[in-house]
Amino acid sequence: MVVGKKSNKKTVPAEQKDKKGKKEQRETKVNTATKQEKSKAKSAVKSGKRGFGKKVKLLKSKKSSGKKEKITADIVNPEVVLYKKKPIVLKELFKEFADLKQGGPGLNKFQRKAVKRFHREEALKPYQAELIRMQKCLENNRKRMIILFEGRDAAGKGGTIRRVTRYMNEKHYRIVAMAKPNDQEKTQWFFQKYTAHFPRGGEVVIFDRSWYNRAVVEPVFGFCTPEEYKNFMRGVVGFEKDLVRQGTILVKLYFSVTKEEQAKRFKRRKTDPLRQWKLSEIDVQAQDRWDDFTNQKYEMLKKTHTNIAPWTIIRSNNKHEARLNAMKVILNAVPYERGNNDLNFVPDSKVVISGSREKEIMDAQRIKLGSFVG
Protein backbone atom coordinates (compact mmCIF):
# COMPACT_ATOMS: atom_id res chain seq x y z
CA MET A 1 0.00 0.00 0.00
CA VAL A 2 1.32 3.41 -1.02
CA VAL A 3 1.06 6.08 1.57
CA GLY A 4 0.86 9.71 0.21
CA LYS A 5 2.94 12.55 1.60
CA LYS A 6 1.31 14.98 3.96
CA SER A 7 0.52 18.37 2.40
CA ASN A 8 2.26 21.44 3.90
CA LYS A 9 -0.63 23.70 2.97
CA LYS A 10 -2.76 24.89 5.82
CA THR A 11 -6.44 24.71 5.39
CA VAL A 12 -8.12 28.10 5.88
CA PRO A 13 -11.65 28.14 7.20
CA ALA A 14 -14.30 29.54 4.85
CA GLU A 15 -15.21 32.37 7.26
CA GLN A 16 -11.63 33.67 7.30
CA LYS A 17 -11.50 33.49 3.48
CA ASP A 18 -14.63 35.64 3.27
CA LYS A 19 -13.21 38.22 5.71
CA LYS A 20 -9.88 38.37 3.82
CA GLY A 21 -11.65 38.76 0.47
CA LYS A 22 -13.84 41.62 1.76
CA LYS A 23 -10.78 43.37 3.25
CA GLU A 24 -8.91 43.17 -0.08
CA GLN A 25 -11.97 44.55 -1.90
CA ARG A 26 -12.16 47.51 0.51
CA GLU A 27 -8.44 48.26 0.10
CA THR A 28 -8.77 48.05 -3.67
CA LYS A 29 -11.69 50.50 -3.64
CA VAL A 30 -9.79 52.92 -1.38
CA ASN A 31 -6.67 52.76 -3.55
CA THR A 32 -8.72 53.26 -6.73
CA ALA A 33 -10.61 56.19 -5.21
CA THR A 34 -7.37 57.73 -3.97
CA LYS A 35 -5.77 57.54 -7.41
CA GLN A 36 -8.86 58.99 -9.07
CA GLU A 37 -9.07 61.89 -6.63
CA LYS A 38 -5.37 62.62 -7.01
CA SER A 39 -5.69 62.57 -10.77
CA LYS A 40 -8.67 64.95 -10.65
CA ALA A 41 -6.82 67.33 -8.32
CA LYS A 42 -3.74 67.42 -10.53
CA SER A 43 -5.77 67.98 -13.68
CA ALA A 44 -7.71 70.74 -11.92
CA VAL A 45 -4.46 72.46 -10.99
CA LYS A 46 -3.06 72.10 -14.51
CA SER A 47 -6.20 73.42 -16.18
CA GLY A 48 -6.58 76.27 -13.70
CA LYS A 49 -10.02 75.13 -12.54
CA ARG A 50 -9.13 75.35 -8.88
CA GLY A 51 -10.35 78.85 -8.11
CA PHE A 52 -9.39 80.88 -5.10
CA GLY A 53 -11.88 80.75 -2.29
CA LYS A 54 -13.15 77.27 -3.29
CA LYS A 55 -12.59 74.35 -0.96
CA VAL A 56 -11.04 71.33 -2.68
CA LYS A 57 -10.82 67.95 -1.01
CA LEU A 58 -7.66 66.05 -1.82
CA LEU A 59 -7.08 62.44 -0.94
CA LYS A 60 -3.51 61.74 0.02
CA SER A 61 -2.12 58.35 0.90
CA LYS A 62 0.90 57.65 3.03
CA LYS A 63 2.34 54.43 4.29
CA SER A 64 2.01 53.95 8.01
CA SER A 65 2.86 50.62 9.55
CA GLY A 66 2.27 48.84 6.24
CA LYS A 67 -1.20 50.34 5.81
CA LYS A 68 -2.47 53.20 3.67
CA GLU A 69 -4.30 55.92 5.50
CA LYS A 70 -6.85 58.14 3.90
CA ILE A 71 -6.21 61.84 4.62
CA THR A 72 -8.71 64.54 3.68
CA ALA A 73 -7.48 68.12 3.44
CA ASP A 74 -9.61 71.23 2.84
CA ILE A 75 -7.42 73.62 0.92
CA VAL A 76 -8.39 77.29 0.50
CA ASN A 77 -6.17 79.48 -1.69
CA PRO A 78 -3.38 76.96 -2.31
CA GLU A 79 0.14 78.30 -1.92
CA VAL A 80 1.62 75.94 -4.51
CA VAL A 81 0.26 74.75 -7.85
CA LEU A 82 1.58 72.22 -10.33
CA TYR A 83 2.58 73.34 -13.81
CA LYS A 84 4.14 70.79 -16.16
CA LYS A 85 4.71 68.51 -13.16
CA LYS A 86 6.67 71.25 -11.41
CA PRO A 87 5.51 72.98 -8.20
CA ILE A 88 5.17 76.77 -8.46
CA VAL A 89 4.88 79.00 -5.40
CA LEU A 90 2.04 81.44 -6.11
CA LYS A 91 3.40 84.15 -3.83
CA GLU A 92 6.65 84.31 -5.81
CA LEU A 93 4.78 84.15 -9.12
CA PHE A 94 2.55 87.10 -8.18
CA LYS A 95 5.58 89.09 -7.04
CA GLU A 96 7.34 88.51 -10.37
CA PHE A 97 4.15 89.50 -12.22
CA ALA A 98 3.84 92.74 -10.22
CA ASP A 99 7.50 93.59 -10.85
CA LEU A 100 7.09 92.91 -14.56
CA LYS A 101 3.95 95.04 -14.74
CA GLN A 102 5.82 97.97 -13.15
CA GLY A 103 8.72 97.54 -15.52
CA GLY A 104 10.78 95.12 -13.46
CA PRO A 105 13.86 96.07 -11.40
CA GLY A 106 15.99 93.68 -13.46
CA LEU A 107 15.15 95.44 -16.74
CA ASN A 108 16.98 98.37 -18.24
CA LYS A 109 15.39 101.73 -19.02
CA PHE A 110 14.28 100.84 -22.54
CA GLN A 111 12.90 97.44 -21.53
CA ARG A 112 10.84 98.96 -18.70
CA LYS A 113 9.50 101.55 -21.11
CA ALA A 114 8.57 98.85 -23.62
CA VAL A 115 6.73 96.83 -20.96
CA LYS A 116 4.76 99.87 -19.79
CA ARG A 117 3.86 100.77 -23.36
CA PHE A 118 2.68 97.21 -23.97
CA HIS A 119 0.36 97.27 -20.95
CA ARG A 120 -1.03 100.68 -21.94
CA GLU A 121 -1.79 99.49 -25.46
CA GLU A 122 -3.42 96.31 -24.10
CA ALA A 123 -5.67 98.43 -21.86
CA LEU A 124 -7.01 100.24 -24.93
CA LYS A 125 -7.92 97.11 -26.90
CA PRO A 126 -11.33 96.39 -25.27
CA TYR A 127 -12.42 99.94 -26.14
CA GLN A 128 -11.00 99.65 -29.65
CA ALA A 129 -13.14 96.54 -30.05
CA GLU A 130 -16.16 98.59 -28.95
CA LEU A 131 -15.29 101.24 -31.56
CA ILE A 132 -15.56 98.52 -34.22
CA ARG A 133 -19.03 97.60 -32.93
CA MET A 134 -19.99 101.29 -32.90
CA GLN A 135 -18.78 101.67 -36.48
CA LYS A 136 -20.83 98.62 -37.53
CA CYS A 137 -23.93 100.13 -35.90
CA LEU A 138 -23.43 103.38 -37.83
CA GLU A 139 -22.99 101.42 -41.03
CA ASN A 140 -26.14 99.32 -40.48
CA ASN A 141 -28.25 102.39 -39.66
CA ARG A 142 -26.68 104.62 -42.35
CA LYS A 143 -25.84 107.26 -39.74
CA ARG A 144 -23.22 109.96 -40.30
CA MET A 145 -20.63 110.91 -37.67
CA ILE A 146 -18.12 113.79 -37.49
CA ILE A 147 -15.44 113.99 -34.78
CA LEU A 148 -13.45 117.20 -34.38
CA PHE A 149 -10.00 117.03 -32.78
CA GLU A 150 -8.95 120.49 -31.66
CA GLY A 151 -6.44 121.73 -29.10
CA ARG A 152 -3.02 123.19 -28.59
CA ASP A 153 0.04 122.04 -30.51
CA ALA A 154 1.62 118.85 -29.09
CA ALA A 155 -1.52 118.13 -27.06
CA GLY A 156 -1.77 114.52 -28.29
CA LYS A 157 -4.43 114.81 -31.00
CA GLY A 158 -2.58 112.78 -33.63
CA GLY A 159 -1.68 109.93 -31.27
CA THR A 160 -5.27 109.66 -30.08
CA ILE A 161 -6.58 109.59 -33.66
CA ARG A 162 -4.22 106.73 -34.49
CA ARG A 163 -5.41 104.72 -31.49
CA VAL A 164 -9.07 105.39 -32.22
CA THR A 165 -8.82 104.25 -35.84
CA ARG A 166 -6.24 101.48 -35.45
CA TYR A 167 -8.66 98.55 -35.83
CA MET A 168 -11.60 100.28 -37.49
CA ASN A 169 -12.77 99.36 -40.99
CA GLU A 170 -10.87 101.64 -43.36
CA LYS A 171 -13.72 101.58 -45.86
CA HIS A 172 -16.02 103.40 -43.46
CA TYR A 173 -13.88 106.12 -41.91
CA ARG A 174 -11.68 108.96 -43.16
CA ILE A 175 -9.16 111.26 -41.49
CA VAL A 176 -9.14 114.81 -42.84
CA ALA A 177 -6.25 117.18 -42.15
CA MET A 178 -6.77 120.35 -44.16
CA ALA A 179 -3.81 122.21 -45.61
CA LYS A 180 -3.48 125.97 -45.86
CA PRO A 181 -6.27 127.30 -48.13
CA ASN A 182 -5.27 127.99 -51.72
CA ASP A 183 -6.29 131.04 -53.76
CA GLN A 184 -9.45 129.37 -55.04
CA GLU A 185 -10.59 128.29 -51.57
CA LYS A 186 -10.06 131.79 -50.25
CA THR A 187 -12.81 133.02 -52.61
CA GLN A 188 -15.31 130.33 -51.51
CA TRP A 189 -17.78 130.23 -48.66
CA PHE A 190 -15.62 129.46 -45.61
CA PHE A 191 -17.31 126.13 -44.75
CA GLN A 192 -17.33 124.93 -48.38
CA LYS A 193 -13.92 123.24 -48.26
CA TYR A 194 -14.99 121.34 -45.15
CA THR A 195 -18.41 120.24 -46.39
CA ALA A 196 -16.68 118.61 -49.37
CA HIS A 197 -15.24 116.06 -46.91
CA PHE A 198 -18.42 115.41 -44.92
CA PRO A 199 -19.42 111.76 -44.40
CA ARG A 200 -21.95 109.74 -46.33
CA GLY A 201 -24.39 107.42 -44.56
CA GLY A 202 -22.59 104.84 -42.41
CA GLU A 203 -19.27 106.71 -42.42
CA VAL A 204 -17.13 108.41 -39.76
CA VAL A 205 -15.03 111.45 -40.67
CA ILE A 206 -12.35 112.64 -38.23
CA PHE A 207 -11.05 116.19 -38.62
CA ASP A 208 -7.49 116.66 -37.35
CA ARG A 209 -8.11 120.37 -36.78
CA SER A 210 -11.28 121.72 -38.31
CA TRP A 211 -13.16 124.91 -39.10
CA TYR A 212 -12.24 126.04 -35.58
CA ASN A 213 -8.84 127.08 -36.94
CA ARG A 214 -10.61 130.36 -37.63
CA ALA A 215 -11.61 130.65 -33.97
CA VAL A 216 -8.12 130.15 -32.50
CA VAL A 217 -5.08 129.81 -34.78
CA GLU A 218 -5.98 132.26 -37.56
CA PRO A 219 -6.76 135.29 -35.37
CA VAL A 220 -3.65 134.69 -33.21
CA PHE A 221 -1.30 134.71 -36.23
CA GLY A 222 -3.28 137.22 -38.30
CA PHE A 223 -4.33 134.71 -40.97
CA CYS A 224 -7.84 136.21 -41.05
CA THR A 225 -9.27 139.69 -40.71
CA PRO A 226 -11.29 140.76 -37.64
CA GLU A 227 -14.39 140.87 -39.85
CA GLU A 228 -13.85 137.28 -41.05
CA TYR A 229 -13.42 136.15 -37.45
CA LYS A 230 -16.65 137.87 -36.36
CA ASN A 231 -18.62 136.37 -39.26
CA PHE A 232 -17.35 132.91 -38.38
CA MET A 233 -18.23 133.19 -34.69
CA ARG A 234 -21.65 134.51 -35.63
CA GLY A 235 -22.42 131.71 -38.12
CA VAL A 236 -20.76 128.57 -36.76
CA VAL A 237 -23.43 127.86 -34.12
CA GLY A 238 -26.23 127.82 -36.70
CA PHE A 239 -24.07 125.76 -39.08
CA GLU A 240 -23.56 123.05 -36.43
CA LYS A 241 -27.21 123.12 -35.40
CA ASP A 242 -28.20 122.34 -39.00
CA LEU A 243 -25.72 119.46 -39.09
CA VAL A 244 -27.10 117.87 -35.95
CA ARG A 245 -30.72 118.59 -36.85
CA GLN A 246 -30.28 116.68 -40.12
CA GLY A 247 -29.00 113.56 -38.37
CA THR A 248 -25.22 113.98 -38.17
CA ILE A 249 -23.60 112.92 -34.89
CA LEU A 250 -21.13 115.70 -34.01
CA VAL A 251 -18.44 115.22 -31.34
CA LYS A 252 -16.16 118.18 -30.52
CA LEU A 253 -13.01 117.35 -28.53
CA TYR A 254 -10.52 119.95 -27.31
CA PHE A 255 -7.18 118.59 -26.02
CA SER A 256 -5.73 120.75 -23.28
CA VAL A 257 -2.11 120.51 -22.14
CA THR A 258 -0.13 122.62 -19.67
CA LYS A 259 2.54 125.04 -20.82
CA GLU A 260 5.29 123.03 -19.10
CA GLU A 261 4.22 119.76 -20.73
CA GLN A 262 3.98 121.40 -24.14
CA ALA A 263 7.53 122.77 -23.77
CA LYS A 264 8.75 119.29 -22.82
CA ARG A 265 7.17 117.75 -25.92
CA PHE A 266 8.54 120.47 -28.20
CA LYS A 267 12.02 119.82 -26.83
CA ARG A 268 11.67 116.14 -27.63
CA ARG A 269 10.52 116.92 -31.16
CA LYS A 270 13.65 118.98 -31.75
CA THR A 271 15.99 116.13 -30.79
CA ASP A 272 14.03 113.06 -31.97
CA PRO A 273 14.53 112.45 -35.73
CA LEU A 274 11.27 110.46 -35.84
CA ARG A 275 9.30 113.44 -34.53
CA GLN A 276 11.05 116.40 -36.13
CA TRP A 277 8.55 116.52 -38.98
CA LYS A 278 5.86 117.48 -36.43
CA LEU A 279 7.64 120.69 -35.47
CA SER A 280 6.50 123.67 -37.55
CA GLU A 281 7.11 127.39 -37.41
CA ILE A 282 3.74 127.86 -35.72
CA ASP A 283 4.72 125.31 -33.07
CA VAL A 284 7.89 127.25 -32.29
CA GLN A 285 5.81 130.38 -31.57
CA ALA A 286 3.16 128.52 -29.52
CA GLN A 287 4.99 129.01 -26.24
CA ASP A 288 5.54 132.73 -26.79
CA ARG A 289 1.90 133.24 -27.73
CA TRP A 290 0.50 131.03 -24.95
CA ASP A 291 -1.72 133.72 -23.43
CA ASP A 292 -3.10 134.69 -26.85
CA PHE A 293 -4.13 131.09 -27.49
CA THR A 294 -5.73 130.91 -24.05
CA ASN A 295 -7.81 134.04 -24.67
CA GLN A 296 -9.03 132.67 -28.01
CA LYS A 297 -9.87 129.35 -26.39
CA TYR A 298 -11.99 131.15 -23.78
CA GLU A 299 -13.90 133.11 -26.45
CA MET A 300 -14.45 129.94 -28.46
CA LEU A 301 -15.93 128.06 -25.47
CA LYS A 302 -18.01 131.06 -24.48
CA LYS A 303 -19.65 131.49 -27.90
CA THR A 304 -19.68 128.02 -29.50
CA HIS A 305 -20.41 125.63 -26.61
CA THR A 306 -24.12 124.78 -27.02
CA ASN A 307 -26.48 122.06 -25.85
CA ILE A 308 -26.79 120.76 -29.41
CA ALA A 309 -23.04 120.81 -30.18
CA PRO A 310 -21.16 120.90 -26.85
CA TRP A 311 -17.41 120.96 -26.36
CA THR A 312 -15.64 118.23 -24.39
CA ILE A 313 -12.27 119.12 -22.87
CA ILE A 314 -9.66 116.36 -22.58
CA ARG A 315 -6.81 116.95 -20.10
CA SER A 316 -3.93 115.42 -22.05
CA ASN A 317 -0.79 115.75 -19.90
CA ASN A 318 -1.09 111.98 -19.50
CA LYS A 319 -1.35 110.71 -23.06
CA HIS A 320 -2.66 107.26 -22.17
CA GLU A 321 -5.47 108.58 -19.98
CA ALA A 322 -6.37 111.14 -22.65
CA ARG A 323 -6.61 108.44 -25.33
CA LEU A 324 -8.63 106.09 -23.15
CA ASN A 325 -11.12 108.75 -22.08
CA ALA A 326 -11.45 110.19 -25.58
CA MET A 327 -12.54 106.72 -26.72
CA LYS A 328 -15.14 106.63 -23.95
CA VAL A 329 -16.54 110.02 -24.99
CA ILE A 330 -16.82 108.89 -28.62
CA LEU A 331 -18.48 105.59 -27.67
CA ASN A 332 -20.99 107.34 -25.41
CA ALA A 333 -22.02 109.62 -28.29
CA VAL A 334 -23.55 106.72 -30.24
CA PRO A 335 -26.48 104.59 -28.93
CA TYR A 336 -25.24 101.16 -29.99
CA GLU A 337 -25.44 97.72 -28.37
CA ARG A 338 -22.43 97.23 -26.09
CA GLY A 339 -20.30 94.18 -26.71
CA ASN A 340 -18.69 94.08 -23.26
CA ASN A 341 -20.92 95.35 -20.47
CA ASP A 342 -18.18 94.76 -17.90
CA LEU A 343 -16.15 97.67 -19.29
CA ASN A 344 -16.24 101.02 -17.54
CA PHE A 345 -17.63 103.53 -20.03
CA VAL A 346 -17.74 106.42 -17.56
CA PRO A 347 -15.06 109.03 -18.38
CA ASP A 348 -12.65 110.07 -15.62
CA SER A 349 -13.85 113.40 -14.22
CA LYS A 350 -10.23 114.47 -13.71
CA VAL A 351 -9.51 114.03 -17.42
CA VAL A 352 -12.81 114.82 -19.15
CA ILE A 353 -14.52 118.15 -18.48
CA SER A 354 -17.48 119.75 -20.22
CA GLY A 355 -16.97 122.99 -22.11
CA SER A 356 -19.23 124.90 -19.73
CA ARG A 357 -17.30 123.62 -16.70
CA GLU A 358 -13.99 124.60 -18.31
CA LYS A 359 -15.30 128.11 -18.89
CA GLU A 360 -16.35 128.34 -15.22
CA ILE A 361 -12.84 127.26 -14.15
CA MET A 362 -11.26 129.87 -16.42
CA ASP A 363 -13.62 132.56 -15.08
CA ALA A 364 -12.59 131.67 -11.53
CA GLN A 365 -8.91 131.85 -12.47
CA ARG A 366 -9.31 135.29 -13.99
CA ILE A 367 -11.19 136.60 -10.93
CA LYS A 368 -8.74 135.12 -8.45
CA LEU A 369 -5.42 135.56 -10.28
CA GLY A 370 -6.24 138.34 -12.73
CA SER A 371 -5.45 136.15 -15.76
CA PHE A 372 -6.02 132.66 -17.17
CA VAL A 373 -3.72 129.81 -16.21
CA GLY A 374 -4.26 127.82 -19.37
Residue 358: per-residue pLDDT: 96
User: Per residue in 65-96, pLDDT tens?
Assistant: 444 444 444 445 678 888 887 888 888 888 77
Instruction: Give the angle subtended at the CA of 236 by the CAs of 230 and 239, to the nearest 5°.
Output: 145
What does residue 254 show for φ and ψ, rounded to 5 degrees? -120, 120
pLDDT at 22 over 50: yes
Query: What's the mean pLDDT when you consider all of the chain?
Result: 84
* Burial readout 247-277 (b: 16 or more C-beta within 10 A, e: otherwise): ebbbbbbbbbbebebbeebbeebeeeeeeee
Lowest mean pLDDT: which of 92-96, 258-262, 344-348?
Answer: 92-96
Higher pLDDT, 51 or 256: 256
User: Per residue in 132-141, pLDDT tens?
Assistant: 999 999 999 9
Residue 348: per-residue pLDDT: 97
Residue 103: per-residue pLDDT: 61
Residue 369 pLDDT level (bands cut at 50, 70, 90): confident
Q: Go through the domains of the chain in sequence order and give each one's CATH number.
A: 127-369 (3.40.50.300)
From its phi and psi, is residue 90 left (phi > 0), alpha (psi between -120 and 50) or beta? alpha
Looking at the chain, the whole-number percentage of residues with pLDDT higher than 70 is: 77
Higher pLDDT, 59 or 201: 201
Residue 51: per-residue pLDDT: 42
Residue 320: per-residue pLDDT: 97
User: Per residue in 263-319, pLDDT tens?
Assistant: 999 998 888 888 888 888 787 888 999 999 999 999 999 999 999 999 999 999 999
Residue 87: per-residue pLDDT: 84
User: Per residue in 198-241, pLDDT tens?
Assistant: 999 999 999 999 999 999 999 999 999 999 999 999 999 999 99
Looking at the chain, the whole-number percentage of residues with pLDDT higher than 90 is: 59
Residue 249 neighbours by CB under 8 Å, 6+ apart = 138, 143, 144, 145, 146, 333, 334
* Burial readout 9-43 (b: 16 or more C-beta within 10 A, e: otherwise): eeeeeeeeeeeeeeeeeeeeeeeeebeebeeebee
Contact call for residues 226 and 285 (beta carbons, < 8 A): no
Residue 295: per-residue pLDDT: 96
Higher pLDDT, 106 or 314: 314
